[in-house]
Amino acid sequence: MWKSSKFIDYADNMSRICFDQKKIIYGLLVLIGFLCSTITYMVFHKIEYLIPYNMNEKVSVSVNEVTPGYLVALAMADAATYFDVDRYNVGAQTQLFLSRVDPSVMGRVGLELGRREKKIISDNLAQVFYPVNCYVKNNTHFVVIKGRLVKWLASKLVQSNIVNISIDYSNINGHVFIKKWTYENA
């Protein structure tokens, strides 16, 4: 009898030890699962880089800083997207330009671009922009472009004039968007 109670005490102690070890093992498994999911998120997290096609210098974009060279190249690409249109590509160019607009002004700009798109299609208008000069104003996010805008209406040259484009960019957590876009004849 004495041996069996000793065996029962030993078994009871072992089961308590195993139960405590199981808690530790389950806790470690949960921690390992959390770390694996965090590492997987960091490795496969989608990072977007918008590199304009006319980029030929080193640039950087961080949460607070954007190099002037990047803004100039981005402004040239945005100007080409906005102005280099005809009735066949205006829909795609409009959507591409709209994707570059600051979310706070996207509704208003979307309506303006929709009206512009309908007018280009109905009038069979085509236009091309030839940039001449581009610079960042006073080390800000404000870019000025000067160039020639040439328009054709049903294959006839109707306008060729110099325009000044002003683009104010916003940097939202490292994403550079068009906040304000204006152009006028020079």
Nearest CA to 165 out of 126, 131, 138 is that of 131
Stretch 21-30: mean pLDDT: 78
For residue range 61-94, list pLDDT tens digits in order: 666 677 888 888 889 989 999 999 999 999 999 9
**What are the tens digits of pLDDT across the range 142-183?**
999 999 999 998 878 899 999 999 999 988 877 889 999 998
In angstroms, what CA-CA distances link 110 with 2, 97, 101, 103? Answer: 89, 10, 9, 11
The model's pLDDT over 106-121, given as tens digits with 9 standing for 90+, comes to 889 999 999 999 999 9
- Examine the pLDDT at 49 and tell me if it is beyond 60: no
Q: What is the per-residue pLDDT for 50?
A: 58
pLDDT reading at 52 higher than 70: no
Residue 88, pLDDT score: 92
SS3 state of residue 28: helix
Please say if the pLDDT value at position 138 is more than 80: yes
Which distant-in-sequence residues (6+ apart) come within 8 Å of 149 by Cβ?
A: 83, 127, 128, 129, 130, 159, 160, 161, 162, 163
CA–CA gap between residue 164 and residue 166 (Å, rounded): 7
Q: Dihedral sign for Cα 148, 79, 140, 108, please.
A: positive
Cα angle, residue 102 at apex, residues 89 and 174 outer, rounded to 5°? 110
Mean per-residue pLDDT for 45-67?
Answer: 62
Domains of the chain, first to last? 68-185 (3.10.450.230)
Rounded Cα–Cα distance for residues 179 and 103 (Å): 9
